[in-house]
Amino acid sequence: MEFGIGFLFFAGLITGAIGLVLGMIVDKALAGFWLGAFLGPIGWIIVFLLPRAPIEEQNSSHHQVQPVKPLPSPSVKRDLNSDSYKLYLGKKYEIQRNDLFQKFECREKLFESLEEALAFADELDKDEISVAEEKNKALGRKLDWMTIKDNLIRDGITVHRSAPLWGESEYQVRYNDELLIFKTLEELQDYYMSVVTSTSFEPELRYENLDFNTMKHGFNTKKIKLMNPDKDGFHDLIYPHIGVAHRFKMEELKDFYLKKMNE
């Protein structure tokens, strides 16, 4: 009796493992394991009959999706007291003095002072970027993990998905010596959109959106290693090939990062 139960358990593991491998082919690894374990060869056949995304839908998204990049934004800190940012707004939104009315003009509106015109342009810029980011997020939600994997591999970023026997899959992203783990497809999609709309993919970087992971990835593209902050809040930047290190506080680090990415 005990031998019979042990044999059935062992046989279930073997047929389940085969079902797992077959299920990975059609992106149904977990279902493949359980169908194989309980139904044997019949389960192997069933896993290939499980519903999948239409072929037309796969072809339309796989390899072909190109993300909408954010509208051009300043490569300096968004600060209305900054001359660089003022010049950026003035050029982009064509702020000029209207001699006829002795006022400043921006997007067919008149303002009593230059400061008011710049503040109006600043709000326009924020709104444009917000709209672009929403479009990107919506587009990212349409991407399957294989499309993300194939697009990132072109830039030396690898993506692997685990297939546990129970629980949800997780996604591992590796770039050089950096390893990131995402628990959900939505997290992977957000990471992908942040990569293709920043760092080396997008020269116009947004100061206020910079975080440690984004800068770490960007510095890696320049063969510079960004270390975690120490107890005093300083980040070390190391140039491995020449053995030089710099120390920055976060705000200083952002300024240096923007400068380095635009070289």
pLDDT tens sequence across 200-255: 333 344 566 678 887 887 788 778 888 888 888 888 888 776 666 788 888 888 88
106 backbone dihedrals φ, ψ, rounded to 5°: -150, 120
- For residues 30 and 165, what is the distance between their CA atoms, to the nearest angstrom? 6
Burial of 132 (C-beta count, 10 Å sphere; 0-12/13-18/19+): middle
The pLDDT, as a whole number, for residue 155 is: 72
The answer to the question of residue 26 being in a domain is yes
Binning pLDDT at 50, 70 and 90, where does residue 192 land?
A: confident
Per the structure, the count of domains in the chain is 1
The pLDDT, as a whole number, for residue 201 is: 32
The answer to the question of residue 92 being in a domain is no
- For residues 32 and 50, what is the distance between their CA atoms, to the nearest angstrom? 10
The answer to the question of residue 222 being in a domain is no
For residue 69, give the nearest of 185, 182, 203 by alpha carbon. 203
- For residues 156 and 221, what is the distance between their CA atoms, to the nearest angstrom? 10
pLDDT at 175 over 90: no
- For residues 173 and 129, what is the distance between their CA atoms, to the nearest angstrom? 27
Binning pLDDT at 50, 70 and 90, where does residue 163 land?
A: low
The answer to the question of residue 226 being in a domain is no
pLDDT at 74 over 60: no
Whole-prediction pTM value?
Answer: 0.44
Residue 133's Cα: distance from chain center in Å? 12
- For residues 252 and 226, what is the distance between their CA atoms, to the nearest angstrom? 13
More confident of the two residues 216 and 117: 117
**Which neighbouring-strand residues pair with 247?**
236
The answer to the question of residue 64 being in a domain is no
Q: What is the mean pLDDT of the chain?
A: 77
More confident of the two residues 57 and 153: 153
Rg (CA), the chain: 26
The answer to the question of residue 194 being in a domain is no
Boundaries of domain holding 6: 2-52
The answer to the question of residue 190 being in a domain is no
Binning pLDDT at 50, 70 and 90, where does residue 29 land?
A: confident
The pLDDT, as a whole number, for residue 205 is: 46
The answer to the question of residue 179 being in a domain is no
pLDDT at 112 over 80: yes
